[in-house]
Structure 1
């Protein structure tokens, strides 16, 4: 019996000792800071401006009608390949042909009147010559000679008036023939029809402005992307920079382009100012179609073999309570730094150390691609594959709300 009691006491002591040891280990774990870290890497940074835009043909020609009338024939439709001068539509020419016939008749009438008046002029000239001879022989009076000369001048004026009528009739005939030619609609360029806005039997009215009958893309093998770039980014964009974009029709394919034009006219929508940037892109397989929405990335800078960190590291700020604790452990006084005194490209990174407080490293940030940022070490030591703190986990008692702009003086 006594032996069993002794064994029980030993077991209890063992269990209690293990419990105390486990509790101490648990407390040690609680006291040990736990950090979420990211790895410092070396590689390439491609800084980009992201925008959206629309795919358009380089040259888009709207074919209209300069005369009013009824469409009686269409010779082209959507996606038709057309050549310059090719007939693509016909407006009823009957009325315009009648005007040509009328103009031709008016011209012939004026020409006939001219011939008649020229004969009268010749007769008046002969009469004046005879009257001059008779007047010199004192066979007629001065008044009769003056009357003959007056008739001559009237005949000359009449000839000039009829000649002017002929010129007017000729102009009217040219106008009538031109309008007749306008009833035949021809393609002004080589290209492909991307839009047809009329049907057979439809009446077009050109009284105020020429109605658009067809829209022709001159060459779909060369396309443009018209995109809007925010005013904050437009200063980084240059003609000749490379760009890539995707369209919803081919989500897994990336198209290459080049900045061809930066337009100076601003566009303001709800106080947001943007500028139009035109990209030039080849379309040999005709995959890109007018009107497609493009998600554009313009490469504004590329750097190779640079030290870089994930952007999440730059968003981390050591909590003031933790900074004060580390300063106290180092025998220093913690002095918060005014955020306005720190340049935006100067940051403090924290390198975790086993059994010690994290070590600060002062860096200058450079180019960024939105996920990673180039860094240059200004003070401290940091190399590829080192770990830097991106988050102070909640189970660390020193963890607290972060305060951007506060840091530890070096």
Structure 2
């Protein structure tokens, strides 16, 4: 009994292993299953995408032209200001003392001028007296020349005194300007975006004017500065409509108009892009400076056209699954994947006018290749402008992989017979 049970168990294992090996090696695999999509009519909008930042229409950096200590500030973040409003004050004591010194210098210069004028008047009187004596013969010609030279010298001193007064006046005015500049005023109507100073802080304006405040003119009118790739810049022009989203409002789309495509290139890591300006209304103040925008430019649109999924143009059928029709069509259907990618190539927003491709229609259990001419495309579908394809056809977009390494399962369940009677240990 024990030998019979062991023999039956051995035969069952042998039969199961043989059956598994046969199915694994020689048995034909089950036919592949495919994902399909129905050819339909619809619209396709070709777009070009770019990223950019939200910027105010006008931004003014308010700085200081004089050095000193901040005495107080009067404007804070998000505060509305008018042109001429005092934003901050720099300690004016040093500048007032300088102005007093320059005012005194003006007074000294004017006194020196008056003194020179008195001397000139005395010299003129002396010259006239000597001239009278010279005409009477009681004064020599040499005495006349001496008094004439003295008068000319005093005349020059008066002119020098007048120039000194002008210099002193100019220095006093410069000191007055420096004193006035201790009052930092708003140059425009707008909103304070940033305040970069605090009371007691020292401002050093020796090399360049430090930025104290940043003011945006009007946040109800904003701009998007989008970085447009050099491959797409030829499709964008002023006046086009643009649509964009920001991370702060994921479900909301904003719209604007392209106002400028700048000629100046921006090169980062050998990648060339061009700044494109998009004007946007921001009446509800939802958009804020510095936000990142994802922009889509509509470059082409077609309505009520035959469309196929982009996945159908990329699909490569397995070997032996294509129905043989004509040598030419079979050869095109079995071309390399690289050529197929080129025919279905181009990304979102690319025009495929004049390009061709191949899709595969599921005909029973075999695939029938169909050559088509292509138009514009978006991220999901491509326009079909020609070819033997009609609405309702089901094109293959991919193969359904079975469980186990992406291949159809060929395993079968083997039931082993129960041994007759209990197994006895030897």
The SS at the match of 1:132 is helix
Provide the residue aligned with 1:167 in structure 2: 166
Residues in 1 aligned to 2:125 and 2:38: alpha-carbon distance in whole angstroms:
116
| 2:335 corresponds to 1:347 | no
Residues in 2 aligned to 1:143 and 1:288: alpha-carbon distance in whole angstroms:
90
**Which stretch shows the higher mean deviation, 150-159 or 272-281?**
272-281
Alignment of 1:80-91 (within 5 A): 80-91=79-90
Provide the residue aligned with 2:383 in structure 1: 374
The structure-2 alpha-carbon separation of the partners of 1:129 and 1:240, relative to structure 1 and needing over 3 Å to count, comes to same
The SS at the match of 1:232 is coil
Residues in 2 aligned to 1:67 and 1:221: alpha-carbon distance in whole angstroms:
33
Kindly state the Cα deviation for residue 318 of structure 1 after the two structures are TM-superposed: 3.6
Provide the residue aligned with 2:9 in structure 1: none
In 1, are the aligned partners of 2:329 and 2:369 still within 8 Å (CA)?
no
The SS at the match of 1:194 is strand
Kindly state the Cα deviation for residue 191 of structure 1 after the two structures are TM-superposed: 0.2
Provide the residue aligned with 1:127 in structure 2: 126
Residues in 2 aligned to 1:331 and 1:360: alpha-carbon distance in whole angstroms:
12
The structure-2 alpha-carbon separation of the partners of 1:232 and 1:183, relative to structure 1 and needing over 3 Å to count, comes to same
Aligned residues: 364
Kindly state the Cα deviation for residue 207 of structure 1 after the two structures are TM-superposed: 0.4
Residues in 1 aligned to 2:339 and 2:381: alpha-carbon distance in whole angstroms:
25
Q: 2:373 aligns with which of 350, 353, 364?
A: 364
TM-score by length of 1: 0.82
Residues in 2 aligned to 1:259 and 1:287: alpha-carbon distance in whole angstroms:
20
| 2:278 corresponds to 1:305 | no
Alignment of 1:132-143 (within 5 A): 132-143=131-142
Residues in 2 aligned to 1:333 and 1:189: alpha-carbon distance in whole angstroms:
71
In 1, are the aligned partners of 2:330 and 2:369 still within 8 Å (CA)?
no
| 2:114 corresponds to 1:118 | no
Provide the residue aligned with 1:97 in structure 2: 96
Provide the residue aligned with 2:394 in structure 1: 387
Show structure 1 runs of 5+ residues with no match: 1-26, 401-410
The SS at the match of 2:121 is helix
In 1, are the aligned partners of 2:45 and 2:302 still within 8 Å (CA)?
yes
Kindly state the Cα deviation for residue 30 of structure 1 after the two structures are TM-superposed: 4.6
Alignment of 1:176-191 (within 5 A): 176-191=175-190
CA RMSD of superposed structures (Å): 2.6
The structure-2 alpha-carbon separation of the partners of 1:332 and 1:347, relative to structure 1 and needing over 3 Å to count, comes to closer
Residues in 2 aligned to 1:67 and 1:133: alpha-carbon distance in whole angstroms:
61
Kindly state the Cα deviation for residue 384 of structure 1 after the two structures are TM-superposed: 2.4
Residues in 1 aligned to 2:216 and 2:225: alpha-carbon distance in whole angstroms:
16
Residues in 2 aligned to 1:79 and 1:163: alpha-carbon distance in whole angstroms:
52
Residues in 2 aligned to 1:330 and 1:132: alpha-carbon distance in whole angstroms:
131
The structure-2 alpha-carbon separation of the partners of 1:80 and 1:389, relative to structure 1 and needing over 3 Å to count, comes to same
Residues in 2 aligned to 1:367 and 1:330: alpha-carbon distance in whole angstroms:
29
Kindly state the Cα deviation for residue 146 of structure 1 after the two structures are TM-superposed: 0.9
Residues in 1 aligned to 2:243 and 2:392: alpha-carbon distance in whole angstroms:
31
Provide the residue aligned with 2:13 in structure 1: none
Residues in 2 aligned to 1:247 and 1:274: alpha-carbon distance in whole angstroms:
21
TM-score by length of 2: 0.79
In 1, are the aligned partners of 2:49 and 2:296 still within 8 Å (CA)?
yes
Show structure 2 runs of 5+ residues with no match: 1-26, 344-354, 408-426
Residues in 2 aligned to 1:69 and 1:238: alpha-carbon distance in whole angstroms:
49
The structure-2 alpha-carbon separation of the partners of 1:132 and 1:370, relative to structure 1 and needing over 3 Å to count, comes to same
